[in-house]
């Protein structure tokens, strides 16, 4: 039994806007006499849009109408309708994510981007998505080493480190090809942190100056050094810490990357060579690519070809955000999809003691009380400590007590569990609550405090639901 679900990825970045459609194949890998085990077995990008410059109204405002026009045109070209899609992600990334009108842009798109398309952004997620799009996770798994992907975009460089296929860390620096812009042979924009970096090294540049290739290349060399510091092949200088986006954190020193991939617009110059005119794109992206390529410290790490370069983030968004739940779950039909649900995480310590579990739910629910009552939340826990029938009955009582406010409220009771107990727990709660409450109880999903999740409409004859876990939306 194979089934396909269609996914869209839309990336509205600092410099470019792109879209892809992909097809995810799900299959029951268990034999017919076993409990089903449904997994995503294949991911294929079926349509890649052109790459557009992100339309801006001003330096700080995205032109929502024009973005919408681009997306609509690409849907038509691909012959795709919003209702054809079961999952996907729109992300506003990089510097653009800090733009004031990001929310209104997302709102203008949500109506036509499919019923289950979600809006998400944030540098950590972008790092992970671009690395997956570039294939760093796969290379690290196959080669059994740690591989970092550096996605060098217009405004930021997003780094994600994978070891043997699993994520070990992310970071994001204000290093990018469009942090210095060039128009008509003159410098038209310098990002303040880059200005400071240049000054620190005694390079004087100012808006309005003639764009001198060798001077700007020297600035780019220092930008490349900052990337080398970020992957721990160079000792950090005193400016390094300040270059992390939004005062973010650097990667931990261990594990150290033994392999590198590059993605983002700058990376396509890295792998494919420079255009004739270095300022062809009106920025220093080409020079930055050259500086990265020539950087002695970065050269000490093996560089692998990236599966995607300029499209890595959008491919990551379209094909790597969706998981499927466990195959024995419990939900009230008609209540899905649900989107952007904040995660209320119960720690493993709290899980083991009924009173602590109950109190933790109550305490944390208070954080989600707004003017219009309690927000919709997902209660998330491991489920490792309740597997026998008796334990699950106890757990259902604990949850019913702890979440009494949810049960009394208008929203469904949403439980997201790692261990395979969701159907049994759902049954226990349904019997306990005499089927008077809508319950969505799914497993096979890991999420943390601060994450948001989307649960899609059931697929595979209703046995599984697609789930998107989003880490740190608008990490500002």
Q: Return residues touching another protein (CB under 8 A).
A: 29-36, 144, 164, 328, 330, 387-389, 392, 419-424, 426-428, 430-431, 435, 461
Q: How far apart are CA 278 and CA 275, in angstroms?
A: 6
Nearer to another protein, 93 or 396 (CB): 396
| DSSP at 174 | S
Nearer to another protein, 30 or 296 (CB): 30
Q: How far apart are CA 166 and CA 137, in angstroms?
A: 7
Nearest distance from C-beta of residue 195 to another protein, angstroms? 36
E-assigned strands of 125-241? 146-152, 157-163, 166-173, 180-183, 186-190
| DSSP at 420 | S
Nearest distance from C-beta of residue 235 to another protein, angstroms? 13
Nearest distance from C-beta of residue 396 to another protein, angstroms? 10
Nearest distance from C-beta of residue 465 to another protein, angstroms? 15
Nearer to another protein, 376 or 419 (CB): 419
Per the CB < 8 A criterion, the answer to whether 64 and 108 are in contact is yes
Angle subtended by helix axes 389-402 and 422-432, to nearest 10? 60
Nearer to another protein, 30 or 355 (CB): 30
Query: Which residues fall within 8 angstroms of residue 302, CB to CB, at 6 or more apart?
Result: 258, 259, 260
Nearest distance from C-beta of residue 320 to another protein, angstroms? 21
Please return the burial class of 264, using the count of CB atoms within 10 Å of its CB with bins 0-12, 13-18 and 19+. Answer: buried
Nearest distance from C-beta of residue 394 to another protein, angstroms? 12
Nearer to another protein, 115 or 141 (CB): 141
Nearer to another protein, 25 or 303 (CB): 25
Helix (H) or strand (E) holding 439: strand 439-443
| DSSP at 244 | B
């Amino acid at each position: 039994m194979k089934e396909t679900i269609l996914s869209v990825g839309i990336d509205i970045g600092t410099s470019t806007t792109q879209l892809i459609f992909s097809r995810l194949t799900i299959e029951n890998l268990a034999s017919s006499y076993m409990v089903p085990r449904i997994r995503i077995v294949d991911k294929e990008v079926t349509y890649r849009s052109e790459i557009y410059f992100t339309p801006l109204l001003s330096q700080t405002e995205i032109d929502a109408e024009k973005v919408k026009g681009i997306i609509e045109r690409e849907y038509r070209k691909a012959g795709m309708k919003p209702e054809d899609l079961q999952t996907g992600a729109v992300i506003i990334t990089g510097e653009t994510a800090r733009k004031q009108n990001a929310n209104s842009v997302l709102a203008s798109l949500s109506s036509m981007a499919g019923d289950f398309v979600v809006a998400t952004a944030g540098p950590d997620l972008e790092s992970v998505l671009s690395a997956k799009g570039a294939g760093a996770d796969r290379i690290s798994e196959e080669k059994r080493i740690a591989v970092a992907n550096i996605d060098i975009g217009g405004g930021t460089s997003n780094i994600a480190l994978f070891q043997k296929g699993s994520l070990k860390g992310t970071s994001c620096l204000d290093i990018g090809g469009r942090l210095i812009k060039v128009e008509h042979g003159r410098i038209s924009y310098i990002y303040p942190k880059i200005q400071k970096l240049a000054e620190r090294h005694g390079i004087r540049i100012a808006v309005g100056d003639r764009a001198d290739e060798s001077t700007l290349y020297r600035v780019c060399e220092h930008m490349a050094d900052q990337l080398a510091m970020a992957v721990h092949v160079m000792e950090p200088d005193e400016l390094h810490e300040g270059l992390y986006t939004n005062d973010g954190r650097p990667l931990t020193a261990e594990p150290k990357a033994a392999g590198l991939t590059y993605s983002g617009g700058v990376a396509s110059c890295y792998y494919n060579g420079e255009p004739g005119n270095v300022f062809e794109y009106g920025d220093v992206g080409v020079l930055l690519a050259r500086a990265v390529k020539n950087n002695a410290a970065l050269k000490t790490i093996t560089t692998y070809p990236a599966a995607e370069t300029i499209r890595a983030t959008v491919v990551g968004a379209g094909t790597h955000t969706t998981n499927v739940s466990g195959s024995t779950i419990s939900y009230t039909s008609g209540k899905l999809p649900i989107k952007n649900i904040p995660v209320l995480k119960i720690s493993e310590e709290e899980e083991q003691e009924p009173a602590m579990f109950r109190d933790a739910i109550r305490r944390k629910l208070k954080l989600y009380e707004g003017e219009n009552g309690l927000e919709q939340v997902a209660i998330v826990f491991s489920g490792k400590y309740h597997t026998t029938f008796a334990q699950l009955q106890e757990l259902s009582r604990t949850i019913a007590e702890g979440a009494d406010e949810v049960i009394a409220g208008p929203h469904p009771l949403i439980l997201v569990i790692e261990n395979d107990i969701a159907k049994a727990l759902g049954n226990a709660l349904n019997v306990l609550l005499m089927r008077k409450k809508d319950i969505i109880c799914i497993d096979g999903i890991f999420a943390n405090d601060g994450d948001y999740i989307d649960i899609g409409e059931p697929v595979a004859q209703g046995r599984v639901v697609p789930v998107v876990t989003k880490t740190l939306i608008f990490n500002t």
